[in-house]
Copies of this chain bind each other. A is one copy, B any other.
Amino acid sequence: MSGKLTDQEMAEKLATLTGWTPVEGRSAIHRTFTFKTFNQAFGFMTRVALKAEAMNHHPEWFNVYNRVEVTLSTHDAGGVTDKDITLAAFMDKAGGA
């Protein structure tokens, strides 16, 4: 269940998420979250960090002030897996989308 998703599987799963797109030239997915303030952005990151730690599956992310850029991929599987979709869905909820 943690194998790399096929293109077809990924397209189907992305359709269940909000605003996630495939990354060019790499098997990964990306979304930008924008909040009103740094406080809200970092609050979001903290909620996601606790989830990520519990899943032992961590994001690549960049933050500047109210913006959080997230890339998800499963290193061990060499691409996007169900773990990434699960974490992305959690982030959608945590980010208010």
Contact = CB atoms under 8 A, between A and B. Distances in A.
A89 interface: no
Contact of A38 (B42, B58, B62, B63): B58
A38 B52 contact: yes
Interface in A28-48: 38-39, 42, 45-46
Contacts of A45: 45
Interface string A37-79: 0110010011001001100001111111100000000000000
Given A38-B52, A62-B62, 18 more contacts: A38-B49, A38-B53, A39-B53, A42-B46, A42-B49, A42-B53, A45-B45, A46-B46, A58-B64, A58-B65, A59-B63, A59-B64, A60-B62, A60-B63, A60-B64, A61-B62, A61-B63, A62-B63
